[in-house]
Amino acid sequence: MFNSHYALMKEFASRLSVSGREHDFSNDLKAWMKPFADTVSTDAMGNLLLVKKTAVLDAPRLLLTAHMDQVGFMVTHIENNGYIRLSPVGSVNPIAYSNIPVKFSRGSKGILVAETNCKPEEMKPNKLYADIGTISLKETEKYVQVGDVCAIDVPLMKLKGSRIAGAALDNKASCAIIYKIAQLLSAEEALPFEVGFAFTVQEEVGCRGSKTIAYSFAPSYALNFDVTPCYDTIGSIPGNVRLGKGAAIKIRDNTVIVCKTIVDSLEQTAKEESIPIQREIIASGGSDTGVLQLTRQGVAAGSLSLPCRHIHTGTETIDSKDFDAIVQLALAWIMKGKVFEFESLG
C-alpha cells in the first residue's frame, strides 16, 4: 500500500494527533493495520490495540508499543480581537516554536508567534499565541474553538542519501515501524505466542496512555518503539547515538534501566543477522518503557529506538537505514522466538 518507507512516513506524519486528540489518526491506523491482526479495540483513554492471536493455549503475550501522539498546543482561550491563546501539550522549546506555520484540528492553517518585544530570557511557551487571520472572537470561533489543538505544519521532505526531515517523526516514524513489522509478520507462519500492537496516547505529557493499555493486555514481555536523540550535531553534548549507525538498543533513559538479558538478547539477534546496532543511553528524556516495566507484577520490557536529530521541532531528521534496521531486528527477534530469553532481572 505504501511503496517506500518515505511514502509510509509521509502519510503518517501528515496526520494531526496532538496528545489528547489522537482519535482521527487512531481511526486511520485501525484501517491500515486491520489486515494484520485478529482483534481491534480502543480503551477508555483512546489507546488503540490490535492483537495477533495464537492457537497455542495459555501462550505468553508480547506487547509492541509506539505512542501515536505528538507535541503541540491546545487552545485554552480566545481573545476578543480573535488571537488564539494556547497551552503547550508536551515539552515545547518556545524558541523552536516561534514564528512557525501551524495547522488546527478543524483544518485551519495559521501562524504561531511570540508576544512582540518578549525578551529571550522571558520566552516561555505561554508567550506564544496563534493568528489565523481573523479579527474577532466570533469570527475565530467559526474555525477554531477552545479545546482544539494545533501543531507545527512542516511536511516531510527527503534530504540527501536516505535521510528524511520534517515535523512529527516523533513518533509517527515508530508507528510506521510497527506497521511494517505487523505487515511482515502477517506473511509469516503462526507464532507460538500472542502479539499485541498498541498505539498509545498521551506519551508526550507523561507516558499516560501506556499505563492503562499495558494493564489491560497484561503482557509478560514488551518492546517499545520511540525516537532517541542523536549526539552528532554541532554543539551537542558527547553521547553515543548517531544518525545512520543503526537500530538503537535502549540501555537506559530516565524512566527505566532495561534488564541486561533483554539487551543481550537483542544484541545477539543483531549479530546473528548482521544488523547494524548501537547502544542507547540518553542524558535526559523518558519513554513508555518504564511504564511497561512497572505493569502489574512486572514486565520484561525493552526498547528499540530510532535515532532522530532535533526532536520536537519542525526539522526532525531520521535515516531510513536505521528505520530498516529496527524493522529487521524486531522481526528476526520475534521470529526466532527470542522473546523467551527476555528475563526480567533486578
Partner 1 sequence: MHYFPTLIRLQEFPCVSGYAYGFLPPLQKLCEGLFDSVSVTPAGSLLCMRHGVDARKTILLDAHMDSPGFMVSMITPNGFLKVQKIGISDNNLLPSLDVMVYGKQPIRGVFASKPPHIMTPEERAKAIGDQDLLIDVGFTEAEAEEHIQIGDLVTFSPCVTLLQNGYVSATGLSSRLGILSLLHCAQLVQHQTLPFHVACLFSTGYHTNNRGISSAIYLLNPDMLISLDACPAAFPDIDKRLLCQTEHGPVIHVCDAHGLSLSNALIDCAKENGISHQIMASPSGVCSQSDRAFTSFEGVPTAVVSLPMRNLHSPHETACLTDAEQTARLLASFVLHPEKAVIPCK
Partner 2 sequence: MQIENFFSLCEVFGPAGEEKGVFQWIEKELSGHGVSITYDKVGNMHLYKPGKKPPPNKVLFTAHADEVSLMIQSADEMGFLLFGGSQSLTSRFAGNMMPTAICGKRLVVGKNHIPGVVCIKPISLQSEAEKNKPPFIDEMRLDIGAKTKEEALSLCPIGSLAIFDSDSYSFGNGRIKAKAVDDRIGCYLITEYCKQNLPFDFHAAILVQEELGCRGAHVAAYIQQPDIAVVLDATTAGDVGQVSGMQCITVQGEGGVISYIDGGTIYDYALTQKAFALARENGIKAQVKRMATGANDAKSIQRSGVGVRVISLSLPTRYIHSSACVAQLKDMEAMEKMIPLLHNQFAEE
Query: What 3-state class would DSSP assign to 270?
Result: helix
Radius of gyration of the chain (CA): 20
Tell me the residue type at 160.
Answer: K
Q: Which member of 150, 251, 270, 308 binds partner 1 (CB under 8 A)? A: 251
Residues 75-114, mask of contacts with partner 2 (x by CB under 8 A): -xx-x-----x-xxx-------------------------
Cβ-contact 43, 57 below 8 angstroms: no
Name which of partner 2, partner 1, none residue 296 binds, using a CB cut-off of 5 to 8 Å depending on partner kind: partner 1
Residue with smaller CB distance to partner 1, 210 or 255:
255
Residues 196, 198, 202: CA angle, nearest 5 degrees: 160
Q: Which of 203, 204, 280, 316 is catalytic?
A: 203
Cβ-contact 159, 305 below 8 angstroms: no
Asked whether position 43 contacts partner 2 by CB under 8 A, the answer is yes
Query: Any catalytic annotation for residue 203?
Result: yes
Asked whether position 298 contacts partner 1 by CB under 8 A, the answer is yes
**Residue length of the chain:** 346
Give the whole-angstrom CA distance, residue 31 versus residue 156.
22
Q: Which member of 92, 154, 259, 270 binds partner 1 (CB under 8 A)? A: 259
Name which of partner 1, partner 2, none residue 74 binds, using a CB cut-off of 5 to 8 Å depending on partner kind: partner 2
Residue with smaller CB distance to partner 2, 27 or 236:
27
Helices (H) and strands (E) in the chain, counts: 8, 18
Binding site for partner 2 (CB under 8 A): 19-21, 23, 43-45, 47, 74, 76-77, 79, 85, 87-89, 126, 146-147, 202, 205, 208, 211-213, 215-216
Active site residues: 203
